């Protein structure tokens, strides 16, 4: 896999944090250069379609501002003064500082911090091997999927659902709480096939008129945080009108008189008062899914990034369990297939190297942790060193004022391994140049589908850029860590992991480039029973039993969790001082903070802006394009107003994570978002924020 082809079209995989994990056909011009990037037509899920940002990937690979040499800070933190140094000089000093900090404060004073800038397991998760070998502080990975995972698994017992390709066989496709035109374009490929080939109806449930909703037959724009109320009202109508499949529920669910009684007063009129929809819209939606068993519920992450998000996910998931849609080809529900991979990553992550458990620090609380808040730190040992890969917390993490304050500490030693001089890298003591996905080998899993895909090295890295795996090995060698896994090449570690997982040898998959982990239809549809011991879907979730399936931590008193699917009114409340609800939704041309450095994406997105309803704008004397401020107790942000009637009054939408410096005050939108852990097991409420709005 290491031989670099020239003048050819080669298969690769999109490495970014998207459920599609698209199979790519990449034009290789020479050993240093790529041309066009296209979606692989022979991959049944990608089906030749990729998003515009990845189609322009040559912009990113060959960007003139890519980091190509190790850099040492020579000015004040954040001043931007750097000196180029050799890899040996950088690594020797980094190890010396780590050893000094460990000697003075203990190993837990060092915190390797990472996330999903690449979804390749070798490059993303190998940092855990170094952490475990050295007993550094652990990371509680809550920032993306913890909330949604909990809500789905508490119903089904497993993070698994119906093959997304089955959307093409549906009569109704429900896209709830996600905007796939921006975030996962392949969902639309299969939904549109259902419309074209079967006359299927597409329903979109969201908090504003997204690019996805603009293609829907029925679009429901509700108030943020009210999805549970809508779901309960749908189930009320299904029971009231005889559209619930009582035979299915009797066999496959825990449905009983108490839950039916719970739904008695959850009428469309009740839900209309909470959601801002009208009762007729709710009735129409309920009739549509009740009369068409081939209804496929594609449940996204967006509506779960709220303090009641886990309950909202579970509530929406209850609808196909009430109609019996799971039994039908083209029916049922899907959020992620992450529970189906069956990978043995013991050696890759070094879990067998752990001597004793160390403290588990919540990555969403990096601001409170770095500013020394005892509850977040969980001990009296401060974090004195960070090793950061695959993430940009100075833009991405919530409660930005605290994050910036923490990174500015003179006693904090920070190492960032990156592709560009991000705002996090600007606060580092050492910045190390990293490879991109075409410049190393890795394998990738598909949360949004069922295949494990191989991505070989196809071009040389620019300058002295090195892979994550190479860096782990070099640090381990200097830190006297003894493990043969650190000595393996990228390909050898892939091969080893596949063998340990029972997939066979790597060479067997070098032609197909994938391992298919698709379940048989009866299993994916839970036709033999759901994944709980009694085989029943749970309308009454057992949150403690859900917690045990993944070994995660409670962040709240378990007794506060609702007994049934419900509208749980625990979101950040608006008040006279903060009358608006803010949601920070994904942009089409950015992926978190990735791509905000490429010209094509910058042109598409323009300057940061806030979508605000005309009624609200008029009350505030705000005109389209005006500079405005959004603020709350956590800080304030400057951006421009975009008058938009595709939201409910009292709601503000800000799309995308622009660079902090793109805002007039250098404060990004996550300045306003809280870092408090979301029930039941943690996560950040990025779409649940009360703010004031005023002209600048």
- Tens-digit pLDDT profile for residues 594-629: 889 898 888 898 999 999 999 999 999 999 999 999
Question: Residue 33: pLDDT above 70?
Answer: yes
- Tens-digit pLDDT profile for residues 239-255: 999 999 999 999 999 99
Spatial CB neighbours of 434, under 8 Å, sequence gap ≥ 6? 67, 389, 417, 418, 419, 465, 466, 467, 468
Mean pLDDT of the chain: 95
pTM here is 0.96
Q: Quote the CA–CA distance of 323 and 306 in Å, as a whole number.
A: 27
| pLDDT computed for residue 4 by the predictor | 66
Burial tier of 650 (Cβ tally within 10 Å: 0-12, 13-18, 19+): middle
Give the sign of the dihedral formed by CA 404, CA 406, CA 408, CA 413: negative
Question: Residue 392: pLDDT above 60?
Answer: yes
Give the number of other Cβ atoms within 10 Å of residue 598's Cβ.
22
How does residue 3 score in pLDDT terms, banded at 50, 70 and 90? low
Question: Residue 679: pLDDT above 60?
Answer: yes
Q: Give yes or no for a contact between 690 and 578, defined as CB atoms under 8 angstroms apart.
A: yes
Task: Please state the rounded mean pLDDT for residues 563-591.
Answer: 95
Q: Give yes or no for a contact between 386 and 411, defined as CB atoms under 8 angstroms apart.
A: no
Task: Please state the rounded mean pLDDT for residues 290-296.
Answer: 98
Q: Quote the CA–CA distance of 637 and 221 in Å, as a whole number.
A: 26
Phi-psi region of 683 (alpha: psi -120 to 50; beta: other; left: phi over 0): left
**Vertex 590 angle, CA 304 and 579, to 5°:** 50
How does residue 213 score in pLDDT terms, banded at 50, 70 and 90? very high
- Tens-digit pLDDT profile for residues 499-534: 999 988 787 777 778 888 888 899 999 999 999 999
Task: Please state the rounded mean pLDDT for residues 53-68.
Answer: 96
Tokens 């309803």 -> residue = 613
Q: Quote the CA–CA distance of 230 and 319 in Å, as a whole number.
A: 10
Q: What is the CA radius of gyration of the chain?
A: 25
Q: Quote the CA–CA distance of 545 and 305 in Å, as a whole number.
A: 22
Sheet holding 172-176, edge to edge: 218-221, 201-206, 172-176, 295-299, 332-334
Phi-psi region of 268 (alpha: psi -120 to 50; beta: other; left: phi over 0): alpha
Q: Quote the CA–CA distance of 418 and 468 in Å, as a whole number.
A: 9
Question: Residue 577: pLDDT above 80?
Answer: yes
- Tens-digit pLDDT profile for residues 82-140: 999 999 999 999 999 999 999 999 999 999 999 999 999 999 999 999 999 999 999 99
């Amino acid at each position: 896999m290491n031989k670099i082809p020239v003048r050819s079209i080669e298969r690769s995989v999109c490495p970014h944090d998207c459920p599609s994990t698209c199979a790519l056909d990449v034009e290789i011009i020479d050993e240093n250069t790529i041309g066009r990037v296209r979606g692989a037509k022979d991959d049944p899920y990608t089906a030749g379609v990729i998003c515009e940002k990845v189609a322009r990937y040559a912009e990113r690979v060959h960007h003139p501002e890519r980091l190509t040499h190790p850099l040492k800070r020579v000015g004040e933190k954040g001043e931007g003064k750097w000196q180029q140094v050799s890899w040996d000089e950088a690594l020797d000093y980094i190890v010396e500082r780590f050893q000094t900090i460990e000697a003075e404060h203990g190993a837990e004073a060092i915190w390797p911090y990472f996330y999903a800038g690449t979804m390749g397991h070798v490059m993303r998760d190998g940092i855990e091997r170094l952490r475990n070998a050295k007993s550094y502080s652990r990371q509680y990975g809550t920032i993306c999927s913890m909330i949604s995972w909990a809500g789905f698994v508490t119903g089904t017992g497993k993070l698994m659902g119906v093959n997304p390709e089955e959307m093409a066989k549906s009569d109704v496709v429900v896209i709830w709480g996600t905007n796939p035109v921006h975030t996962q374009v392949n969902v639309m490929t299969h939904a549109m096939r259902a419309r074209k080939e079967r006359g299927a109806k597409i329903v979109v449930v969201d908090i504003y008129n997204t690019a996805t909703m603009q293609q829907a037959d029925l679009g429901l724009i509700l108030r943020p945080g009210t999805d549970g109320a809508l779901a309960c009202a749908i189930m009320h109508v299904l029971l009231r009108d005889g559209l619930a499949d009582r035979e299915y529920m009797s066999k496959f669910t825990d449905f009983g008189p108490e839950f039916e009684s719970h739904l008695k007063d959850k009428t469309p009129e009740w839900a209309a008062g909470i959601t801002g929809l009208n009762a007729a819209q709710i009735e129409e939606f309920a009739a549509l899914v009740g009369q068409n068993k081939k209804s496929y519920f594609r449940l996204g992450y967006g509506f779960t990034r709220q303090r009641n998000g886990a309950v909202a996910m579970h509530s929406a998931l209850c609808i196909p369990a009430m109609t019996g849609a799971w039994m039908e080809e083209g029916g049922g529900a899907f959020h992620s297939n992450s529970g189906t991979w069956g990978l043995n990553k013991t050696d890759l992550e070094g879990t067998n190297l752990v001597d004793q458990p160390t403290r588990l620090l919540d990555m969403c609380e990096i601001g409170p942790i770095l500013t020394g808040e005892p509850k977040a730190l969980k001990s009296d040992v401060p974090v004195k060193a960070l090793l950061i890969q695959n993430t940009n917390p100075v833009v991405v993490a919530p409660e930005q004022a605290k994050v910036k304050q923490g990174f500015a500490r003179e006693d904090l030693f920070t190492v960032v391994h990156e592709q560009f001089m991000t705002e996090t890298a600007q606060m580092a003591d050492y910045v190390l140049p990293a490879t991109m996905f075409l410049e190393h080998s890795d394998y990738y899993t598909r949360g949004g589908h069922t295949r494990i895909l191989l991505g070989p090295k196809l071009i040389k890295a620019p300058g002295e850029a090195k892979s994550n795996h190479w860096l782990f090995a070099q640090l381990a060698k200097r830190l006297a860590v003894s493990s043969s896994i650190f000595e393996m090449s990228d390909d050898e570690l892939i091969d080893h992991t596949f063998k340990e997982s029972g997939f066979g040898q790597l060479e067997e998959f070098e032609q197909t480039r994938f391992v298919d982990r698709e379940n048989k239809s009866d299993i994916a549809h839970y036709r033999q029973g759901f994944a709980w011991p009694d085989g029943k879907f749970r309308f009454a979730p057992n949150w403690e039993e859900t917690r045990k399936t993944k070994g995660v931590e409670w962040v709240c008193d378990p007794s506060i969790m609702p007994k049934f699917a419900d509208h749980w009114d625990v979101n950040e409340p608006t008040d006279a001082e903060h009358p608006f609800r803010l949601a920070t939704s994904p942009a089409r041309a950015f992926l978190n903070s990735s791509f905000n450095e490429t010209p094509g994406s910058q042109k598409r997105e323009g300057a940061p802006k806030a979508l605000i309803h005309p009624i609200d704008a008029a009350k505030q004397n705000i005109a389209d394009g005006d500079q405005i401020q959004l603020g709350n107790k956590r800080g304030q942000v400057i951006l421009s107003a975009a008058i938009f009637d595709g939201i409910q009054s009292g709601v503000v939408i800000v799309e995308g994570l622009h660079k902090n410096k793109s805002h007039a005050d250098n404060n990004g939108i996550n300045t306003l978002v809280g870092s408090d852990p979301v029930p039941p097991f943690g996560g950040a409420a990025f779409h649940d924020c009360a703010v004031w709005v005023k002209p600048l």
